[in-house]
Structure 1
Amino acid sequence: MPTLHSWARQAPDKPACILADTGELLTYGVLDRRANAVAQLLLEVGLAPGDGVAILLDNDLAYFELVWGARRCGLYYTPISTHLKAEEAAFIVRDSGARALFASERYADAVAALLADNPAGCTVYAVRGEMPGARDYAAALEHFDRYAELPAGPVGKDFFYSSGTTGQPKGIRQPLFTNNRQAQASGDWVRDSFDFVQDMAYLSTAPLYHGAPLRFTMRTLESGGSVVVMRKFDAPAALAAVERYRITHSQWVPTMFFRLLALPPEVRSRYDLASHRCAIHAAAPCPPEIKEQMIAWWGPIVWEYYAGSERNGVTCISTADWLTHRGSVGRAVVGRLHILDEDQRELAPNQVGDVYFDGPEFVYHNDPEKTARSRNAAGWSTIGDVGYLDGEGFLYLTDRRSHMIISGGVNIYPAEIENRLALHEDVADVAVFGVPNREFGEEVKAVVALKDPSRASPELASALSAFCRETLSHVKCPRSIDFEPELPRHENGKLFKHVLKQRYLDRA
């Protein structure tokens, strides 16, 4: 399959990536040259295959040249959420061992936090604006204006972080690709399932620091297509982008479907969507009635897939199959599925158990215990989901073994929030879990037992919310806080969180 360089030679003036709102773009020829310059820069400052870089940017065309440059050097690249607090972002840079950080001046606080404690000697480059202690990215690239042949070696790979059950984010790491052929083969399921081809135009509606948007834009460029990136999601603007750029493929999360369906009929009918032939959604449970409304509007072009950042397996389902298997997330297209009981015995169809894949390997960086817990004796892995297979091999998810919350496509783990609330002087005990939210799938709920139960009040609930916001990004902070005299715990101290959660599920 062609590489970015071969696409650049074949069609140097074709748009590779475009910012939807401004029309600013990089052609394949320019992207290829800039990625080559980034690779030269990284090699000159001493990075070697297996080292890492980190990226802290808003949706920006520079994302693509940085990632392609890192890939060509055999480096791990770690996108960082722009919603994190300064120290949260700095922790990820340190924990990943990144040797270089590329950031914009909007995140100067995170850069300052990193430079105050920078054991790996990470070099910071200011991609947009200026920051104390940072090098000028544009000036650094000017030294590499000649295209250079780079040494053969492994191909770099993403190294994403998601929240860990201990409260600190956990990196998800896989072995590097040994060569370009292996790197491209890892995306065969995307090309085969969704028909990623050279004439496609892909609309990316979400932040590039998420796994799916970045990975799918990379697959688009591997296929020779054009990527159109929204800086920030807006429902009418997304429809306008489909019309303006003749979008063929797009990706969404259920929250976006809610926003689109909420538009007045005259707005929804204003845009020409005739070019649109594949709308992909994932990241969070989608209410069946919402999906049915999208299919009624857009036609049988709605596809769904299920996967984790761990990439240990993938399922996929078309509109036609979903209509006859309502609620399913599809059949396996990467790895083989197994549903196991608590004794690790394989279950028959329609029996609920833990979802395992015997797919690609991964580790949780710096957490061998969590890595070991994700495996069974056969080497199959799980990311904590629970569900069942029907007689045709279609997977249905019913719950998560862990208490991870997925709100608007963002993974949130309760322990970090619980640890923060437990520090408040009025709190004796706390439980955090997800409760249903029609628009976001789930929202964060906290139930608190106070040292003095008589202090329970709406004012104290507001104070606890503000206490969370001091150190946690807003997406992690509870949408609501309730008070209970005592939380249900076993004699050994284990919290029966499912008892609390069930109360709210029953009410819902």
Structure 2
Amino acid sequence: MDLSVWAATQPEKAALVGPTGEQMSYAELEATSNRIAHLFLSLGLSRGDHIAIVSENRLDLFPILWAAQRTGLFYTPVNWHLTADEAAYVVDNCGATVLLVSAARADLAAALPPVPHRLSFGGPLLSYDALESLVASLPSTPVDDQTEGSPMLYSSGTTGRPKGVLPAMPEAPFGTGLRFDHLMQDSFGFDSSTVYLSPGPLYHAAPLGWSLGAIRAGGTTVFTDRFDPELVLRLIERHRVTHPQFVPTMFVRMLKLPDDVRGRQDLTSLRLVIHAAAPCPVDVKRSMIAWVGPILMEFYSGSEGNCFFMIDSTSWLAHPGSVGRPVMGGVHVCDEAGQELPPGEIGQLWFDGMPPFEYYADPAKTQAAYDARGWSTLGDLGHVDNDGFLYLSDRRTDLILSGGVNIYPREIEDCLILHPAVADVAAVGLPDDEFGQRVHAVVTPADSVTPGPALEEELLAHLSGRVARFKLPRSFSFEEVPRLPSGKVLRRVLLDRHHRVDESLSQ
């Protein structure tokens, strides 16, 4: 699991294949990451210090990540889709000593707060030193006393300010690997023959961790700079991808491709199709299994690292809708008073048996994530069945409370997403004088579909009989559903937008 060992045994093998087909060999990744590691030490960084990185998906991002990983640093990839104010908050909050910004992110660079060292890569930036010039004459051999570092990631910020998740810094020499690296190899079959495909943004936990983990196993990581369903299928054939990773919205877009397009590419190299990040609608997953075979592997976890569930296709077909049983830690389903609920009853999910985490520089949020028993929560709701399989309902913050009844947006979204007139959908709760909240459906119509009252009636007819009457949307809007590149709905954006509309109509 030591990058230096792989670079010595397979120096010319592609460790990475980038968005335009450019490649970086193991030898190149080893040499460049070592030079950057020497730079970090020369800047006075030591184990446990922080760096922040603002960059799109690009090849020269990876030597920076590996340099931090091999020198015991915390590294925070910043979501460059954030506003300037939000990105500045993350850089400031994580306490970075070094800030590295891609030249392509000049739109954010000037707005970011001052830190002791500001470096650009991939081109010049005003008031930033060029990384490439600083490392050109530095050694390409490893620094002394290499030790494992760790990403310090921030939550997606779908409902408020992003929260920095500070894990326990591993006390291990570089090459030991992180706990998740071992899980990838032991449970997901990653080895030196693996070709992993990531179409997601590298500032998110799964694309980042799995991309690095594939290299730890001696395989090749192929990554894109955006998700395009046809491109993904072409890449699977071109690079003989064995382990692609998706989120459910990507499945939907691939399934909606014409049959002749889906059947055009050779997908026989696939060994395992990995998915996570959001619950997958049952009909969507059934359709994917029918297409590619029973090779889907789903997992449920969080940046906090306080749980890990997984389920293969065979188990899922016997327990449709489940995200599996825990392979790390344990789960408890509790009511509002903290009492455990029996199988089948929905409550808040709490986890035990995993290393503790904290929200960086935010003791109040950290305290709120734990109960008196030391169990921690991600704020999700769900239930377990009699066999111990977990089923997710929604996040507590997404729950719609209408007339004293809990309504889970996911039920409505799952029913609508495969309707041929729907390209994307999100359900939110808007204020209602009579019921407290009402269900509002935000629908992105499919191409060539005309939005309006007729489409509303068609969608309501589709929902009738599939969800209870009290769960039917009482209003619709036809617009783009705002999502992060990870696939998560930005519900706070929708709520802010529609609260303003409601207020203007009431004036």
Q: Does the pair score TM above 0.5? A: yes
The normalised TM-score by structure 2 is: 0.80
Question: Distance in 2 between the 1:22 and 1:250 partners?
Answer: 18
**More displaced, 327-336 or 173-182?**
173-182
8 A Cα contact 1:445 1:478, kept in partner: no
Aligned-pair CA distance for 1:122: 3.5
SS in 2 for 1:172: strand
- Among candidates 385, 394, 402, match of residue 399 of structure 1: 394
Take 2:15 and 2:127, find their aligned partners in 1: how far apart are those partners? Answer: 33
Q: 2:230 aligns with which of 222, 228, 236?
A: 236
Q: Which residue in 2 is equivalent to 1:47?
A: 45
Partner Cα separation in structure 2 for residue 78 and residue 37 of structure 1:
20
- Deviations, residues 271-322 of structure 1 (Å, cap 9, x unaligned): 0011011111111121110111111000011111111111110100000000
Q: Does the aligned pair in 2 maintain the 1:184–1:222 contact within 8 Å?
A: no
1:413 match: none
Of residues 292, 300, 304, the one that matches 1:298 is: 292
1:350 pairs with 2:344: yes
Q: Which residue of 2 aligns with 1:249?
A: 243
State the shift of 1:249 in Å: 0.3
Post-superposition offset of 1:446: 6.0
Q: Does 1:258 align with 2:252?
A: yes
Deviation at 1:486, TM superposition (A): 12
SS of the residue 2:371 aligns to:
coil
1:505 corresponding residue in structure 2: none
SS at match of 2:290: helix
After the TM superposition, which residues 194-343 of structure 1 pair with which residues of structure 2 at under 5 Å, given as runs?
194-343=188-337
Match for residue 76 of structure 1? 74
- TM-score relative to the length of structure 1: 0.80
- Counterpart of 2:463 in structure 1 is none
1:362 aligns with 2:357: yes
Counterpart of 2:107? 109
Could you tell me whether the CA contact under 8 Å between 1:127 and 1:138 is conserved in 2? Answer: yes
Other-structure match for 1:379: 374
Closer/same/farther in 2, CA of residues 257 and 40 from structure 1, 3 Å limit: same
Are 2:494 and 1:478 equivalent residues in the alignment?
A: yes
SS at match of 1:209: coil
Return the letter of the residue paired with 2:383: Y
Matched with 1:414 is none
**1:258 counterpart SS class:** helix
1:244-274 deviations in Å (ceiling 9; x for gaps): 0000001001111111111111111110011
- In the alignment, what sits opposite 1:133? 127
Matching residue of 1:4:
3
Q: Secondary structure at the match of 1:183?
A: coil
In 1, Cα distance between equivalents of 2:214 and 2:60: 17
How far has the Cα of 1:165 moved from its partner? 8.9
Note the residue ranges of structure 2 that are not aligned, 5 or more in a row: 401-408, 418-422, 434-476, 481-488
The alpha carbon displacement at 1:191 in A equals 2.0
Is the partner of 2:426 in helix, strand or coil?
strand
3-state secondary structure, aligned to 1:477: helix
User: What stretches of structure 1 of length at least 5 have no aligned partner?
Assistant: 406-432, 450-461, 466-473, 488-508
Residues 446 and 478 of structure 1 are in contact (CA less than 8 Å); yes or no, is this contact kept in structure 2?
A: no
Q: Name the residue aligned to 2:161.
A: 168
Secondary structure at the residue paired with 1:372?
A: helix
- The answer to whether the Cα contact below 8 Å between 2:46 and 2:73 also exists between their aligned partners in 1 is yes
Distance (Å, rounded) in 2 between the aligned partners of 1:92 and 1:304: 30
State the one-letter code of the partner of 1:160.
Answer: L
Does the aligned pair in 2 maintain the 1:206–1:233 contact within 8 Å? yes
Shift of 1:127: 0.8
Counterpart Cα distance in 1 of 2:238 and 2:399: 38
Q: Look up the SS of the partner of 1:238 in the other structure.
A: helix
Kindly indicate whether the alpha-carbon contact (under 8 Å) linking 1:387 and 1:399 is maintained by their aligned counterparts in 2: yes
Give the one of 53, 57, 60 matched to 1:59: 57
1:206 & 1:390 partners in 2: Cα distance?
32
- Give the residue type in structure 1 aligned to 2:350: Y
How far residue 123 of structure 1 moved from its aligned partner, in angstroms, is 1.7
Contact 2:72 2:146 in 1 (8 A): no
Equivalent residue, structure 2, for 1:14: 13
The answer on whether the counterparts of 2:52 and 2:78 sit within 8 Å (CA) in structure 1 is yes
DSSP-derived class of the 1:303 partner: strand
Q: Which of 182, 192, 199 lines up with 1:188 in the alignment? A: 182
The letter of the residue matching 2:155 is S
The count of residues paired between Structure 1 and Structure 2 equals 433
Structure 1 residue identity aligned to 2:301: A
User: How big is the shift at 1:441?
Assistant: 6.2
Q: Which of 426, 434, 438 is equivalent to 1:442? A: 426
Question: 3-state SS of the aligned residue for 2:76?
Answer: strand
Hey, what's the Cα distance between the residues in 2 that align with 1:159 and 1:149? 22
User: Does the C-alpha gap of structure 1 residues 241 and 270 become closer, same or farther in structure 2, counting only changes over 3 Å?
Assistant: same
Percent identity for Structure 1 against Structure 2: 40
Deviation at 1:239, TM superposition (A): 0.3
Specify the code of the residue in structure 1 equivalent to 2:135: L
Q: Deviations over 1:166-225 (max 9, x none)?
A: 832211111111114663334332222211111010001111111110011111111111
1:125 is paired with a residue whose SS is: strand
Greater Cα shift, 236-245 or 365-374: 365-374
